[in-house]
Amino acid sequence: MKYQTQKIALAYFAVAMALFAVQVIMGLILGWIYVSPNFLSEILPFNIGRMLHSNSLVVWLLLGFFGAAYYLVPEESEREIHSPMLAYLQLLIFVLGTAGVVVTYLFNLFDGNFALGNEGREFLEQPKWVKVGIVVAALIFLYNITMTVLAGKKTAITNILLLGLWALALLFLFAFYNPANLALDKMYWWYVVHLWVEGTWELVMASILAFLMLKLTGVDREVVEKWLYVIAALALFSGILGTGHHYYWIGTPGYWQWIGSIFSSLEVIPFFAMMSFAFVMVWKGRRDHPNKAALLWSLGCATLAFFGAGVWGFLHTLHGVNFYSHGTQITAAHGHLAFYGAYVCLNLAIITYAMPALRGRDPFNQVLNMASFWLMSAGVVFMTFTLTFAGTVQTHLQRVNGEAFMDVQDQLWIFYAMRFGAGVAVVLGAVLFIYSVAVPRREIVTPGPLERDRIEHDPDHVAAR
Amino acid sequence: MTAAQPTARHDEKPKASEEGAGGLPGELMIWVLIISELVVFGAGLLALLATRLTDPAGFAEAQSHLHRVGAAVNTVVLVSSGYLAALAVRLAAARPGLARLLLILAAGLGAVFLAVKASEYAALFAQGIGTETHAFFTFSYLLTGFHAAHVLAGMVLLLLVAVRPAPRPVGVAAAFWHMVDLVWVLLVPVVYLL
C-alpha cells in the first residue's frame, strides 16, 4: 500500500462482505422456499426475501466498486484521496440507508408514506429518503474521486472508471421518475439497473480488470490501455441499445424487437473481448505475481462473465426465443451466472488483490481463498445448469403446452432441490472466502510436490505467498 | 490515444506515420466503430431477408410503396459526396483550403440526401404508412432511419474536421463517411429493389 488513504477501501470491503453474507444466506432461504414453499411464509414472505436478496447484492457490489475506486485511484493518480473524511461519511450514509431499507422491508413500516414508505417498484422499492441518501452519497463519492483524479495523473484506467461511475450515478436519477403510464414506467425503470449492468458497470469492470492485469501480469500500460478503450467502446456500442431487449413486451413499438435483438446479440462481443484480454495479458505477461489467488479470480471473472452474461444472455435475447422463455427459470439461470461472473468475481478479485496490502499481512493463506473460488464457482455453475434445465422444461410445459404455472412448478421440484444443493455450496464458498481474507494472519502453507518442483526448476516462477 | 506506437515494430512501409491500426489509415477506434456498424446493418438486412421468407407476397406489395427513383437519386448523391470526401483526404496536407471546401460540399450533399429522404418519409406518412403497418415497413423505417441518423452524424464529423483540415482527422471522418456510403449501397438492393 503506497498511499495511506487506500486504507479507506478496507472499510468499504468489510461492509461489502457483510452484505455479501446477507445476500447468499437470503438466497439459500429463497432456494429452500422453492423446495418447500410454505417455509417462513408468515415471517418472511417470498417477495420480501427476494427484495433483500437482489438489493443486498446490488448494494454490496456498489460498495465493492467504491472500495475498489478508493484503492486504485490513489495508485493510478499518484496522490492521496481528496478527503478521507468525506469517504467515511459516504459509507456511513450507505450503511444507514441500507439498514433503513432492511427494516422498512421486513416490517413494512410507513406503508404508503411519500418519503418513508416502500415505493413498490421492483428493485427500486427503496423509500424516497433512502434514494435521496444514495444520491447524496454518490455525489460525495464522485466529488471525492474526481477531485483526486483531477489533481493527479490521468490514466486510461481512471478515465474509463470515472466515465462508468458518473454515468452510473446519473442513471440512478431515473429512479425518481415514476410515470403513471405502466409502459413508460417500465421503460425508465430499465434505465437504472439494466443500463448499469449492460453499460456503465461494464466500464467499471473493464477498468478494474485492466488495473488488475496491469499489476498482476506486468504487461505494458500502453497495451492494456488499447484493450481497455476498445472494450469500453464495444460495451457502450452494444449495451445502450441492447437494453432494448427489455422493451419487447412492455407496450413499446414493435421495432424495439429488432433493435433489442440485434444490439443485445452484440453484447457478447465486449465480454468475449474482456475474456481474451485477460488471457492474452497473462500469456504475454512477464511478471509472475505472488498473489495467485487474485489472478485466479480475475481470470474466473472474465471467463464466467463471458458465459453468464454473454452466452447465457444470448440464449434468450432474440425476441423469437424470448417470446416463449420470458420470465422463466432461463432468466434466473442467466441472472445468477452473469452477476456472479461479471460483478461478484470482479469484486472478489480486487478484494483478494488488495487485502494483503490493506491489512499488512504478507504472506497470507491463499489456498483457502483459491478453494473458495472453485467451491463457489462450481456451485453457481451447477445452479445455472439446473435452472437452465428447469427453464427449458418450464418453457415447454407452460408456454408451449399451456399448462398452469403452479402445475408446472410442481414438476420442476427436482431441479429446485438440486439448485438448493448448489446454493449450499455457494454459501460455504462465500463463508470460506470471507474467512480467508478476514481471519488468517501470516500463515505459510507448505508447498505441495508440484509447487516444490516448479520452485526448484522454473527460474521465472515466484511462489505464492 | 496511443494508437500510433505499437505499429512501429512490424510495419516497415515508408508512410508509417499515417498508419495507426496495424496498416489501416486513421485511428483504431474508428475501425472498431466501422466494423460494429457493418455488423449491425448486416444483421438487420439478414433479418429482413429472413422475415421476408415468411410472407414474400406481402413484402413485395409493401415494397411497391417505396420511392425507387428517390433511392436512385440518393445513391448518386451519396457516392458523389464520398468521392468529394476522398479527394479532401488526398488534398488535406497540400491544400487545406481546397480540402475544407470539398468537405463542406460533401456535407452539403449529405444534406441533399436527407432532404430527399425526408420527402420520401413524408410521402409514406401521407399514405398512412407507419412502422407498424407491415413487418416490411418496420425494417425499412428502422434500417433507412438508422442510416439517415448516421448520415447526420457523418455530416457533423465532416464539418468538424473541415474547421482545420489535417490528414489524420480528415482521414478518420472520410472513413466513417465511406462506411455510411457502403451501408447505403447495401441497403438499396435489399430494401428498395429485391
Quick: pLDDT tens for A325-368. 999 999 999 999 999 999 999 999 999 999 988 988 776 678 89
Instruction: Let me know: does A230 contact A274? Beta carbons within 8 Å.
Output: no
Interface residues of chain A, partner chain B, Cβ below 8 Å: 222-223, 225-226, 229-230, 233-234, 237-238, 253-255, 258-259, 261-263, 265-266
B138·A223 Cβ contact <8 A: no
CA B91 to chain A, closest CA, distance in angstroms equals 30
Q: Of A137, A91, A32, nearest to A418 (Cα)? A: A32
Q: Is 70 exceeded by the pLDDT of residue B14?
A: no
- Between residues A139 and A113, the one the model is more confident about: A139
Nearest CA to CA, how far is A218 from chain B (Å)? 17
Q: What domains lie within chain A, and their CATH numbers?
A: 1-153 (1.20.120)
Q: Is the pLDDT of residue A112 over 70?
A: yes
Give the pLDDT score at B6: 41
The H or E element spanning position B71 is: helix B68-91
- The answer for B122, left when phi > 0, alpha when psi is -120 to 50, beta otherwise, is alpha
Average the pLDDT over A213-229 and give the result.
93
Q: Select from B26, B167, B178 the least CA-distant residue to B110.
A: B178
Percentage of residues in chain A with pLDDT exceeding 70?
98
The C-alpha atoms of residue A236 and residue A267 are separated, in whole angstroms, by 9
pLDDT of residue B16: 38
Question: Stretch B47-75: mean pLDDT, rounded?
Answer: 93
**Which residues are registered as beta bridge partners of B19?**
B25, B26
Residue A443 pLDDT: 64
Mean pLDDT of chain A: 93
CB < 8 Å to B142, chain A = 255, 258-259
In a domain, B17, yes or no: no
Mean pLDDT, residues B68-82 taken together: 95
Half-sphere exposure of A369 (CA within 13 A, CB side): 29
Helical (H) or strand (E) element with B144: helix B135-163
| CB half-sphere exposure, A389, CA atoms < 13 A | 14
Residues in chain B within 8 Å Cβ distance of A160: none
Average pLDDT, chain B: 88
Cell digits for B3? 494508437
> Residue B8's pLDDT band (boundaries 50, 70, 90)?
very low
Q: How far is CA A38 from the centre of its chain?
A: 30
In chain A, residues with a C-beta closer than 8 Å to the C-beta of B131 are: 253-255
Q: Which triple of cell numbers denotes residue B187?
A: 441497403
Q: Which of A115-129, A175-189, B71-85 has the highest mean pLDDT?
A: B71-85
CB–CB of A246/A194 below 8 Å? yes
pLDDT at position B19 over 90: no
Per the CB < 8 A criterion, the answer to whether A274 and A305 are in contact is: yes
Å between B96 CA and nearest CA of chain A? 31
pLDDT the model gives residue A444: 67
Partner A contacted by B119 (CB < 8 A): no
B103 in a structural domain: yes
Q: How far apart are the first and last CA of chain B?
A: 43
Residue A445 has pLDDT above 60, yes or no: yes
* Distance (Å) of CA A322 to CA A48, A269, A330, B81, B131: 27, 20, 10, 42, 21
Q: Is the pLDDT of residue A57 over 50?
A: yes
C-alpha cell at A397: 410445459
Residue B179 within any structural domain of the chain: yes
- Could you tell me which residues come within 8 angstroms of residue A395 by beta carbon, excluding any fewer than 6 positions away? A324, A325, A328, A330
A210: which residues sit within 8 A by CB, 6+ positions away? A156, A157, A160, A224, A225, A227, A228, A277
Determine, for residues B28 and A226 on separate chains, whether the beta-carbon distance falls below 8 Å: yes
> What phi and psi values does residue B127 have, to the nearest 5 degrees?
-85, 5
Taking the CA atoms of residue A364, residue A365, residue A367 and residue A371 in that order, the dihedral angle to the nearest 10 degrees is: -100
Given an 8 Å threshold on Cβ–Cβ distance, is B47 in contact with A261?
yes
Q: Determine, yes or no, domain membership for B95.
A: yes
State the DSSP code for A447: P
Judge whether B1 lies within some domain. Answer: no
Say whether residue B38 is in contact with chain A using an 8 A CB cutoff. Answer: no
pLDDT of residue A442: 64
pLDDT score recorded for residue B18:
42
Question: Residues A170-196: what's their mean pLDDT?
Answer: 91
Residues A379-401: pLDDT tens digits? 999 999 999 999 999 999 999 99
Give the model's pLDDT for residue A310: 95
pLDDT score recorded for residue B4: 41
pLDDT value at position B1? 38
Report the greatest alpha carbon distance in chain A: 70
**Alpha carbons A298 and A234: distance in angstroms, whole number:** 20
pLDDT (tens digit per residue) in A135-147:
999 999 999 999 9
Model confidence at A402, pLDDT cuts 50, 70, 90, reads very high
The H-assigned helical ranges of B92-134 are: 96-126
DSSP bridge pairs for B21: B24
User: What's the pLDDT tens digit per position in B82-139?
Assistant: 999 999 999 999 999 999 999 999 999 999 999 999 999 999 999 999 999 999 999 9
pLDDT of residue A316: 96
* Separation of alpha carbons A217 and A240, rounded Å: 31
Q: Domain holding B189: CATH number? A: 1.20.120.80
Q: pLDDT by residue (tens digit) across A11-25?
A: 999 999 999 999 999
Cell triple for A243: 437494453
pLDDT of residue B10: 41
Instruction: Please report how many Cα atoms fall inside a 13 Å half-sphere around the Cα of residue A90, on the Cβ side.
Output: 25
What φ, ψ does residue B19 adopt, rounded to 5°?
-105, 130
Is B19 domain-assigned? no
Listed range (A253-267, A447-461, B86-100, B136-150) with the worst mean pLDDT = A447-461
Residues A307, A229 contacting (CB under 8 angstroms) = no
Which position has the higher pLDDT, A8 or B28? A8
Q: Which three cell numbers stand for residue A33?
A: 422456499
What distances in angstroms separate CA B114 from CA A169, A255, B146, B151, B179, one per listed residue? 36, 22, 12, 8, 16
Longest Cα separation, chain B: 60
Cell numbers that stand for B82 in this block: 464520398
Determine, yes or no, domain membership for B6.
Answer: no
Q: Name the domain count of chain B.
A: 1
How high is the pLDDT of residue B21? 52
Model confidence band, residue A261 (pLDDT cutoffs 50, 70, 90): very high
C-alpha cell at A65: 466498486
Phi, psi of B21 (to 5 degrees): -105, 70
Give chain A positions within 8 Å (CB) of B1.
229
pLDDT at A1 > cutoff 90? no
pLDDT at A213 over 50: yes
Closest residue in chain A to residue B20, using alpha carbons only: A226
Give, in order, the Cα–Cα distances in Å from A197 to each of A402, A445, B4, B163: 33, 38, 32, 38
Phi then psi dihedrals of residue A266, to 5 deg:
-75, -10
Give the model's confidence band at A454: pLDDT under 50 very low, under 70 low, under 90 confident, else very high. Answer: confident
Q: Between these two residues, A298 and B2, which has the higher pLDDT value?
A: A298
Contact B65, B129 (CB under 8 A): yes
Q: Is the pLDDT of residue A82 over 50?
A: yes
This model of the complex carries an ipTM of 0.85
Q: CA A293, CA A118: separation in Å to the nearest integer?
A: 41
Summarize the confidence of residues A425-430 as an average pLDDT: 98
Instruction: Please report, for residues A6, A66, B33, B144, B180, the alpha-carbon distance to residue B174 in angstroms, rounded to integers and kept in the order given.
Output: 46, 41, 13, 20, 10
State whether residue B20 is helix, strand or coil.
Answer: strand
**CA pair distance A40, A31, nearest whole angstrom:** 12
Q: Which domain holds residue B182?
A: 26-193
